Structure 1
Amino acid sequence: MTFEPDSVPRRTYSYLGPAGTFTEAALAQVPEARGQDWRPVRNVGEALADVVEGRSDAAMIAIENSVDGGVSTAQDALATMPGLRIVGEYLVPVEFVLVGRPGMKLEDVSVLTAHPVAYAQCLVWLGANLPAHAHIPAASNVASAVSLIDGTSEADAAIAPPGILEHHDLQLLASNIGDNVNAITRFVLVSRTVAPPAPTGADKTSLIAELPDDHPGGLLEMLEQFATRGINLSLLASRPIGDELGRYRFVIDADGHIHDERMADALLGLRRFSPKVIFLGSYPRADRAVVHYPERYSDDVFVEARDWLRALVSGEPEE
């Protein structure tokens, strides 16, 4: 008798849908997600709830945009939903195309539909190429294009992500219409709490911390936990806690890994200082840029200092 090996269970990934969004493009960069089940959802909260409640193994969410800054809904959700861990980050260029129904020509466009944020990022191109257009706001980047197909919009064209053309029969009227060619959105893949992967030397640590109280120099004291250990912060954003005016939590991205001696020491200092620290994860940087730091903050220096203190406490003679 022969036994067939157990089949590997399929994994499910939640992402902000429908198909054709920038979030879907970010999920397409995850090697282990290819060929698995992708679950489109309506918002960040639903995506993370899928993970917490076991409907999905991981969720892809937008966390930061190079033009608009941090995505507050994602930051607030990570701060208030326990049991989550960032396991990877991915960068997606923010490109926009103008699409219309089959047969439409650019010169025939007088009314267009677009999400207000996307519309604001294409104003220069629109002023030069469609100066007399009218704008109908759309609920999302994909919804603007879908409304042309299902007949719910009176617009002639829509601003949408390039990926929309892979899923719908639409006429491409113009490409790369965004005003900022360097615009990028940073996405993170979030799973249930797991141990951090091994450090690669090109890592990032994300966390959220609160100040113990409102006093002069409080923020400086928090930042000194990193500065005195040679750790660079690539993101520092404040978000209101919501229980009263003047109370904020801080979303922090720090260069390095929790397994690095300097990072571990900084987190210990931060935990002693802050009444609440949420560790979101240590994971490889999307750009794979190696983290550099002064030699005086190397792991060996921290290890030697601990060994020196241990020797003092044990009464060993000094050399």
Structure 2
Amino acid sequence: MTPEHENPPARRTYSYLGPSGTFTEAALAQVPEARDQIWRPVRNVGEALTDVVEGRSDAAMIAIENSVDGGVSTAQDALATMPGLRIVGEYLVPVNFVLVGRPGATLADVSLVAAHPVAYAQCLQWLLRELPEHAHLPAASNVAAAVGLVDGESDADAAIAPPGILEHHDLELLASDIGDNKNAVTRFVLVSRTVAPVPPTGADKTSLIAELPDDHPGALLELLEQFSTRGINLSLIESRPIGDALGRYRFVIDADGHVADERMADALMGLRRFSPRVTFLGSYPRADRAINRYPQRYSDDVFVEARDWLRGLISGEPGA
């Protein structure tokens, strides 16, 4: 069969928090392999990840952390409880917001503000200063907050939205650049079904979730020592309630390095011996491409030499 008669490759499907115009869509636009593929807008993180697990999508883009409000708890909890998922990449999106209302509205008319909870947290100081008596109406996404004003389904007087919303909908601009932190950034991760990690690049991150074996003095320190004694820096550690009893927590961890690195592999084996449950979420290139730094005594060669030395002791090699 000649090439011109061959079937074109099947298009891949990517789920993301919609509708069109969200910051999540902006993150997905950074993925080269997602271009010219099928983008499937969904209503929440759980739906996006369920699409992947059940095969409706090949991957999902979700927000996992932002520089103002910390980790996105809904995403962390979903990754902790939904098996068969793997983070394959991370992407950073600068965050800026506007306040919009229906045509003809003014800032003085606003008492109820629709906003995604993360966006609301990132604009809270501005809102308290300019609209001290306002109330918050949670929305599924930044764009959905604004669209609700247009289609009449929202009782809000105004909405916090991305600046690009004015290009798609007839809305009144009430205020620009209302974010409290001008350097605010949201970190997104691309999640697929379980696959082997991509090869290490030297600028990598490993994400995982671990539980403590029991509640005793120093338990968290023992967990952290699995990394510190191997020269591994943690860029994120957050606790989330397991939900089966008060005082029971799981820890969401981002560690600098790749599972193929000797020091990281050794740390994960130590963590596995210590923790009753470890969920490996993936090793993937860092979005900032910053090279992982560590003392020479934690290089791969040192771990390999130590393992060879022990093997020599066990086998009775002369001079071992």
Gaps of 5+ in 2: none
CA distances 1:33-84 after superposition (whole Å, capped 9, x unpaired): 1111111111111111100100000011111121111111111111111110
In the other structure, the counterpart of 1:310 is 311
CA distance in 1, matches of 2:191, 2:184: 23
Number of residue pairs matched? 317
Distance 1:301 1:147, change over 3 A: same
In the other structure, the counterpart of 1:81 is 82
1:143: how far off?
Answer: 2.5
Q: Which is further off, 249-258 or 113-122?
A: 113-122
What pairs up with 1:23-62 in 2 under 5 angstroms? 23-62=24-63
In the other structure, the counterpart of 2:115 is 115
Gaps of 5+ in 1: none
CA distance in 1, matches of 2:147, 2:219: 49
1:119: how far off?
Answer: 4.0
What pairs up with 1:137-156 in 2 under 5 angstroms? 137-140=137-140, 141-153=142-154
Q: Which is further off, 12-21 or 194-203?
A: 12-21
1:232: how far off?
Answer: 0.5
Q: Which is further off, 156-165 or 14-23?
A: 156-165
In the other structure, the counterpart of 1:10 is 11
CA distance in 2, matches of 1:225, 1:107: 53
1:297: how far off?
Answer: 0.3
1:299: how far off?
Answer: 0.6
CA distances 1:234-281 after superposition (whole Å, capped 9, x unpaired): 111111112222221111100000011100010111111111111100
In the other structure, the counterpart of 2:192 is 191
TM-score by length of 2: 0.91
Tell me if the contact between 1:96 and 1:159 (Cα under 8 Å) persists in the aligned partners: yes
What pairs up with 1:1-319 in 2 under 5 angstroms? 2-3=2-3, 4-101=5-102, 104=104, 110-111=110-111, 113-115=113-115, 117=117, 118-126=119-127, 130=130, 134-135=134-135, 137-140=137-140, 141-153=142-154, 157-318=158-319
TM-score by length of 1: 0.91
CA distance in 1, matches of 2:124, 2:16: 28
1:139: how far off?
Answer: 2.0
Q: C-alpha root-mean-square deviation of aligned residues, in Å?
A: 2.2
User: What is the one-letter code of the residue matched to 2:71?
Assistant: G
Look up the SS of the partner of 1:289 in the other structure.
coil
Q: Which is further off, 141-150 or 60-69?
A: 141-150
Distance 1:161 1:300, change over 3 A: same
1:138: how far off?
Answer: 4.5
Tell me if the contact between 2:116 and 2:145 (Cα under 8 Å) persists in the aligned partners: no
Tell me if the contact between 1:256 and 1:263 (Cα under 8 Å) persists in the aligned partners: yes
